[in-house]
Chain A
Amino acid sequence: MDTTQLLKGVLDAAVLAVVNHEDGYGYDVVRRLRQAGLENVADASVYGTLRRLFAAGALTNYVVPSDEGPHRKYYGITDHGKEILATQREEWHQFAATLTHVLTHEGASS
């Protein structure tokens, strides 16, 4: 199954969850998603998603100066983002349960 396509629909929730756990900069979010098992996630998808969630008011951002190199733009979650995350989390659980049921049922009958 093409997990890249599957991921597109739920990337918002995944990114929100990661940032909700701890603020992070662009690649940091990508890295944490990969470490969590989403190895196929595309860098550009995550950066685009961060930008869109920011524009939608779900994320805030701030610049952290760095001694070693360029400044980093960190993203943090807003209250609105938390609400979205809660909704999407619930929707995902319902969807996953439904699909699991469908797949199990189909598997048993065929």
Chain B
Amino acid sequence: MTTTTRSPSAAVRSYTESVRAHLSDLPPEVIDELAGGLEVDLEDALADRNRTADTPLEAFGSPVAYAAELRDAAGLPPAPSATAGSQPAGSHPANSPGIAQQRASFLAGIRSTATALADGFRQLLGSLRTSRFVARVSPLVGDLCPVWWVARGWFLGALIASWLGGSPGTSLIPWRPGDLTVMLVTIVISVQWGRGRWKPWRWITGVIVVASVIALVAAPTVINGTTWANAWGMRTAHEPVETVPRDGLFVDGTQVSNLFVYDGEGQPVPNAQIFDARGVPVTLSVEGSEASGTWGDNPMVGGQGDDGNVLQPSVSVEGTAAWNVFPLPTFRFDVLKESPDGELVPTTGALPLPTAWPFPNVPRFESR
């Protein structure tokens, strides 16, 4: 072997400098790790070829390709495109050069901050990776990464959606179609970032770090804001429901379907007519005294629809129907027919079912 390792030749030095230049976007210690002893290695490699006439270029190909190969094998991202960010300020005409320059330098400032942040993050990751514990745990962490990507997009989407929608709170659940769209978009972006895609500029990594921190910090708030009551509240705020009190009488939260009146002697009172203080007939129907036989929400349907019995209005001696006369008579459904105006009425001659009084009689009372 020849005296190869004494000092690198000028050709090798220039070649390695060129390679380093194509790694210059990486943190210095990474460049050092990648190309630290490159001169010596290249000299050795050239010497081994026993063709001293070979230039580094002939032996190893272009420095660009060499640097790309180093990056690729080291698992580092490819070099950012040579044109991005290297355009000198003012190289294109602008109406107001001062503002354009200010804007350019502002953007450059943001970009360099983001880049510095990204570098710091990479450094941190690099130092973490060398830890034995992390090396053991990292496969698990790697498997869980997709979950984090989705969660990050979800949280960010919830934040942006609430900001765009002007909502007072945030919700994990996208109630409005717009929220859903925003959240789907942020989730897709977050996952693509996680997969190493959609990073056209190097400083995007800095943005991703910031976005991740925001997502993490916001997570408790977003989750807290998503109790079901809140979520429901947000929904009803946008889709107001009927809040006008309904007609009828409620006991224990259940609408009363019939009333049974007993007199002072504790004896049942048939056909008891009930009015309120204003003289308005007290009825139990949803639709008032004009209650139709509507099945759906009509509490007039006796036995909760189980036995098919239907409450009907009492009928006065003059033949007028009244819903404030209790107990209301109950008819079997099959003796009812639909009247021309769509109401259920008993067929001619049909008799109501015997009144089912809750008690045969009750304690006596005397007037004071």
User: Chain A residues in contact with chain B, CB under 8 A?
Assistant: 11, 25-27, 30-31, 42-49, 51-52, 54-58, 66, 68-73, 78-80
Contact B37 A73 (CB under 8 A): yes
Picked from A31, A45, A54, A66, the residue with its CB within 8 Å of the CB of B69 is A45
Picked from A31, A47, A56, A57, the residue with its CB within 8 Å of the CB of B38 is A47
Residue of A nearest to B44 (CB): A27
Picked from B3, B5, B30, B69, the residue with its CB within 8 Å of the CB of A44 is B69
Contact A30 B38 (CB under 8 A): no
Contact B41 A47 (CB under 8 A): yes
| B contact patch SS | helix
Contact B69 A30 (CB under 8 A): no
Instruction: Give bound CA distance, A54 to B73, whole Å.
Output: 12
Contact B69 A57 (CB under 8 A): no
Contact A48 B39 (CB under 8 A): no
Instruction: Give bound CA distance, A71 to B71, whole Å.
Output: 23
5 tightest CB-CB pairs across the interface, nearest first? A48-B73, A69-B5, A44-B69, A57-B135, A48-B74
Contact of B269 with A by CB under 8 A: no
Contact B41 A27 (CB under 8 A): yes
Picked from A44, A71, A80, the residue with its CB within 8 Å of the CB of B66 is A44
Picked from B33, B39, B73, B136, the residue with its CB within 8 Å of the CB of A70 is B39
* B: contact size bracket: 35 or more
Instruction: Give bound CA distance, A55 to B129, whole Å.
Output: 6
CB distance from A38 to the nearest CB of B (A): 14
Q: Cβ of B71: which chain A residues have Cβ within 8 Å of it?
A: 48
Contact B135 A42 (CB under 8 A): no
CB distance from A6 to the nearest CB of B (A): 15
| In the complex with contacts A68-B5, A70-B5, A47-B134 CB distance below 8 A | no
Picked from A43, A55, A57, A72, the residue with its CB within 8 Å of the CB of B45 is A43
CB distance from B201 to the nearest CB of A (A): 23
Q: Cβ of B129: which chain A residues have Cβ within 8 Å of it?
A: 55-57
Picked from A45, A58, A72, the residue with its CB within 8 Å of the CB of B37 is A72
Q: Cβ of A49: which chain B residues have Cβ within 8 Å of it?
A: 73-74
A-B contact pairs, 25 of them (CB 8 A): A25-B41, A27-B45, A43-B60, A44-B66, A45-B69, A45-B72, A47-B38, A47-B70, A47-B73, A48-B69, A48-B70, A48-B71, A51-B30, A54-B33, A55-B75, A57-B129, A57-B131, A68-B3, A70-B5, A70-B37, A70-B39, A72-B37, A72-B40, A73-B36, A73-B37
Residue of B nearest to A54 (CB): B33
Q: Cβ of A68: which chain B residues have Cβ within 8 Å of it?
A: 3, 5-6
Residue from A46, A48, A54 having most chain B Cβ neighbours under 10 A? A48
Picked from B3, B75, B135, the residue with its CB within 8 Å of the CB of A80 is B135
Instruction: Give bound CA distance, A58 to B131, whole Å.
Output: 10
**In the complex, per-residue mask of B1-14: 1 if CB is within 8 Å of any chain A CB, else 0:** 00111110000000
**In the complex, per-residue mask of B61-94: 1 if CB is within 8 Å of any chain A CB, else 0:** 0000011011111111000000000000000000
CB distance from B158 to the nearest CB of A (A): 35
Contact of B48 with A by CB under 8 A: yes
Instruction: Give bound CA distance, A78 to B129, whole Å.
Output: 13
B101-153 contacts to A, CB under 8 A, are 126, 129-132, 134-136
Contact A69 B40 (CB under 8 A): yes
B300-333 contacts to A, CB under 8 A, are none
Q: Cβ of A79: which chain B residues have Cβ within 8 Å of it?
A: 132
Q: Cβ of A47: which chain B residues have Cβ within 8 Å of it?
A: 34-35, 38, 41, 70, 73-74
Instruction: Give bound CA distance, A51 to B29, whole Å.
Output: 11
Residue of A nearest to B130 (CB): A57
Q: Cβ of B135: which chain A residues have Cβ within 8 Å of it?
A: 56-58, 80
CB distance from A48 to the nearest CB of B (A): 3
Q: Cβ of B39: which chain A residues have Cβ within 8 Å of it?
A: 70
Instruction: Give bound CA distance, A11 to B72, whole Å.
Output: 12
CB distance from B233 to the nearest CB of A (A): 49
Instruction: Give bound CA distance, A79 to B42, whole Å.
Output: 30
Q: Cβ of A55: which chain B residues have Cβ within 8 Å of it?
A: 33, 74-75, 126, 129-130
Contact A42 B69 (CB under 8 A): yes
CB distance from A34 to the nearest CB of B (A): 9
CB distance from B7 to the nearest CB of A (A): 7
Instruction: Give bound CA distance, A79 to B5, whole Å.
Output: 32
Instruction: Give bound CA distance, A48 to B290, whole Å.
Output: 87
Contact A51 B69 (CB under 8 A): no
CB distance from A5 to the nearest CB of B (A): 12
